[in-house]
């Protein structure tokens, strides 16, 4: 571990088995936090990477769309790494679908994973933060809400809802020492990415920084928002998108 900015803190990262979430979990651990990874998939690889680097982590398989399942894992997280001070809601799905093929089933699935899961985790983990009068919640939104890419209506709508949820929760929890912010990335390049391949050529050319965004580009912003350095920053959506939405 190379830094202690989050020493003594415990963080929960959802969707941390692979991709962006895995990198975010590693970053928080490198800053001194103990990390619990919540994912519907096996996240032991992320735990191993953190432990090999000298950190402490645990993995918990859970369906984040099920509020009872999320509530049931709270004690397991506390027993393994401690009661969380930091919650990073990263889990999400990104299903490209043409307008004429959008069904209510698809719409509800996207909102269940991308929005409702955040509500479930916030309701499950913020009570302990409220008792300590210190907490950080960081939700991953998306710059697609400003760019509006075709065939992504359910996803774009869900990520706009994330920004609204963030602002509302920030207002509700501010008096109890909890900040709530969101981060809007550009199109992030990951090994498990499901975005249409041509977008990785188009989107970077629309950015001020003309290269594909990497998960590591988000990690520093997440660590900042999780720290005491961001104590007076809440109800904000921070665009970490290489200047994509600069106009």
Q: Give me the residues paired with residue 39 across strands.
A: 61
Q: What is the mean pLDDT of residues 220-224?
A: 99
Confidence class for position 124, pLDDT limits 50, 70, 90: very high
Does 139 reside within a domain? Answer: yes
CB 90 within 8 A of CB 16: yes
Q: What is the mean pLDDT of residues 215-226?
A: 98
Q: What CATH number does residue 168 fall under?
A: 3.40.50.720
User: Is 149 in contact with 95 (CB distance < 8 Å)?
Assistant: no
What's the CA gap between 117 and 217, in Å, rounded? 24
In a domain, 49, yes or no: yes
Angle between helices 117-132 and 74-81 (to 10 degrees): 50
CB burial string 201-215: b at 16+ within 10 A, e below: eebbebbeeeebbeb
Tell whether 2 is covered by a domain.
no
Mean model confidence pLDDT for the chain: 96
Q: How far apart are the first and last CA of the chain?
A: 38
Percent of the chain scoring above 70 in pLDDT = 97
SS in 3 state form for 173-227? Answer: HHHHCEEEEEEEECCECCCCCCCCCCHHHHHHHHCCCCCCECHHHHHHHHHHHCC
pTM over 0.95: yes
pLDDT at 2: 53
- The pLDDT score that the predictor gives to residue 1 is 46
Say if 1 falls within a structural domain: no
At residue 192, the pLDDT reads 61
**Residue 168 CB coordination number (10 Å):** 12
Q: Provide the annotated active-site residues.
A: 155
Number of folded domains that form the chain: 1
The answer to whether position 115 is within a domain reads yes
64 has a pLDDT exceeding 70: yes
In a domain, 38, yes or no: yes
Contacts of 200 (CB under 8 A, 6+ apart): 187, 189, 212
Give domain status of residue 37, yes or no: yes
Average pLDDT over residues 85-89: 99
Rounded Cα–Cα distance for residues 103 and 122 (Å): 28
* Contact assessment for residue 154 and residue 101, using Cβ atoms and an 8 Å cutoff: no
Q: Residue range 152-171: average pLDDT? A: 98
Q: By percentage, how much of the chain surpasses pLDDT 90?
A: 91
Domain containing residue 68: 10-240
The mean pLDDT value for 220-232 works out to 99
Does position 213 have pLDDT exceeding 90, yes or no?
Answer: yes
Q: Would residue 120 count as lying in a domain?
A: yes
């Amino acid at each position: 571990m190379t830094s202690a900015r989050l020493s003594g803190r415990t963080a929960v990262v959802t969707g941390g088995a692979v991709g962006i979430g895995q990198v975010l979990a590693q970053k928080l651990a490198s800053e001194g936090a103990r990390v619990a990874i919540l994912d519907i998939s096996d996240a032991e690889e992320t735990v191993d990477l953190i432990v090999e680097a000298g950190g402490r982590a645990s993995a918990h398989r859970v369906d984040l769309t099920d509020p009872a399942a999320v509530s049931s894992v709270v004690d397991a997280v506390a027993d393994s790494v401690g009661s969380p001070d930091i919650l990073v809601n990263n889990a999400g799905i990104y299903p490209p679908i043409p307008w004429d093929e959008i069904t209510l089933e698809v719409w509800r699935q996207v909102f269940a994973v991308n929005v409702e899961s955040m509500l479930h985790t916030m309701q499950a983990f913020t009570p302990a933060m409220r008792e300590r009068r210190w907490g950080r919640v960081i939700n991953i939104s998306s710059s697609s809400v400003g760019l509006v890419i075709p065939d992504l209506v359910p996803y774009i709508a869900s990520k706009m809802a994330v920004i609204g949820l963030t602002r509302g929760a920030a207002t509700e929890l501010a008096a109890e020492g909890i900040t709530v912010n969101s981060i809007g990335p550009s199109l992030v390049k990951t090994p498990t990415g499901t975005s249409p391949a041509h977008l990785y050529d188009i989107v970077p050319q629309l950015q001020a920084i003309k290269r594909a965004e990497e998960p590591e580009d988000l990690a520093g912003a997440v660590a900042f928002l999780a720290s005491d350095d961001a104590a007076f920053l809440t109800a904000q959506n921070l665009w970490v998108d290489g200047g994509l939405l600069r106009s």
